[in-house]
Amino acid sequence: MRPSILTDLSDPGFGVYVHWPFCAAKCPYCDFNSHVRHQPVDQPRFVQAFLKEMATMRRMTGSRTVTSIFMGGGTPSLMAPETVDAILNGIARHWHVPDGIEITLEANPSSVEAERFRGYRAAGVNRVSLGVQALNDRDLKFLGRLHDVADALKAIRLARDIFPRMSFDLIYARPNQTVAEWDLELKEAVSYAVDHLSLYQLTIEEGTPFYGLHKAGKLIVPDGEQSAVLYEATQEITEREGMPAYEVSNHARPGCESRHNLTYWRYGDYVGIGPGAHGRLTTGGAKIATATERKPEAWLGLVEAEGHGMIEQELLEREAQADELLLMGLRLKEGVDLARWQSLSGRDPDPDREQFLIEHGFIERLGNSRLRCTPAGMLILDAVVADLAC
């Protein structure tokens, strides 16, 4: 099945994100909102809370047509198929969900079972995203993963057999990783992939076990120069293999880009439901940033008492929206819509700053309507965004 994505860049769509916060184990590099529980999670109780929070969000958004649904985590593949089915039915009751839209569920290979996968497919999931992370057992152990390569390949085969679309993640720039090793691993990954790969550099995040090891000098990751070499090799290999980058870390066969993630990067609206979920909603002509309580049990109590777990509802001024649009849009190969940025910011890009970045090969114009980073600019994306936003 060839997925459909919006070709009208002025309409980024409306997504629904559902966060399942539980994992079987916490990976040492992970700073996501994920929690380990040693007793079974009361899934029916959480389902009722998800549905309650949906009802509150529906009152905020009004009637909307959903263009994608994404269940992330945590480890959503720890959910029973009945839980997924109830969540998707709830979304369909609150908003208009056309047939055939992209519905993604994240899964870890260690929690994959054929029966559960078939249950997700029957519930309506048509795309799965697997957290593979490495294709050798040494590095999987280093990354704290509960699966081995054999588990990963089994999960990939099952996903390819059961779901119309499949993606998986890999982490590179691992300690002592050479370009030659990554070249072989990435070529192997492309041979398994159906239509999409997410390829992330290992980053050391404060508050994680890896952060403490790195600070103590016990964990050495590639320096900036070596990381840049690995990044450039990633672009070359995936381009050659027919899965070019459409975003800094995401690669797809043409037409198979993640519809849901494009909504984020094109700065569309999306509802965030569940513990620690974020959203961006346009209501009454205003853009609101929402965030929910991160701790699962505290979120559950809030929802049961108040109908939602939101702890933040920030009205975004137009200048803040312009900054977010620039930050997200410049991640994309298609770049950012200048007219939309100008409308939000109330100004044109500083001509001297823009010219400086163009002359140094970091950005380029696509006609008069779009601005994008060059491959060199992607290597220093944060600096480019900061320079243009001033």
Long-range contacts of the stretch 253-258 (C-beta < 8 A, 24+): 253/195, 253/196, 255/2, 255/3, 255/5, 256/2, 256/3, 256/165, 256/195, 256/196, 257/5, 257/196, 258/102, 258/104, 258/167, 258/196
Provide the token pair at 125: 């999931």
pLDDT at 255 over 60: yes
Residue 6: predicted pLDDT: 44
What average pLDDT does range 287-306 have in this prediction?
97
Q: Summarize pLDDT for 220-247 with one digit per residue, the tens.
A: 998 888 999 999 999 999 999 999 999 9
Cβ 85 vs Cβ 50: under 8 Å: no
Whether residue 314 has pLDDT greater than 80: yes
Q: What is the pLDDT of residue 195?
A: 92
User: For 128-180, how does the pLDDT look when each residue is reduced to its tens digit (9 = 90+)?
Assistant: 999 999 999 999 999 999 999 999 999 999 999 999 999 999 999 999 999 99
**pLDDT value of residue 3:** 42
Q: Where residue 348 falls among pLDDT bands split at 50, 70, 90? A: confident
Q: What is the pLDDT of residue 129?
A: 96
Burial of 45 (0-12, 13-18, 19+ CB in 10 A): exposed
Q: Please compute the mean of the pLDDT values over residues 288-297 and round it to a whole number.
A: 97
- Per-residue confidence (pLDDT) for residue 10, from 0 to 100: 57
Q: 211-223, pLDDT tens digit by residue?
A: 999 999 999 998 8
Residue 118 pLDDT class (50, 70, 90 cuts):
very high
Residue 111 scores a pLDDT above 90: no
Query: What is the model's pLDDT at position 8?
Result: 52
What's residue 193's pLDDT? 78
Mean predicted confidence (pLDDT) in 88-97: 98
- Mean pLDDT score across all residues of the chain: 93
* pLDDT value at residue 368: 82
For residue range 187-211, list pLDDT tens digits in order: 999 999 779 999 999 999 999 999 9
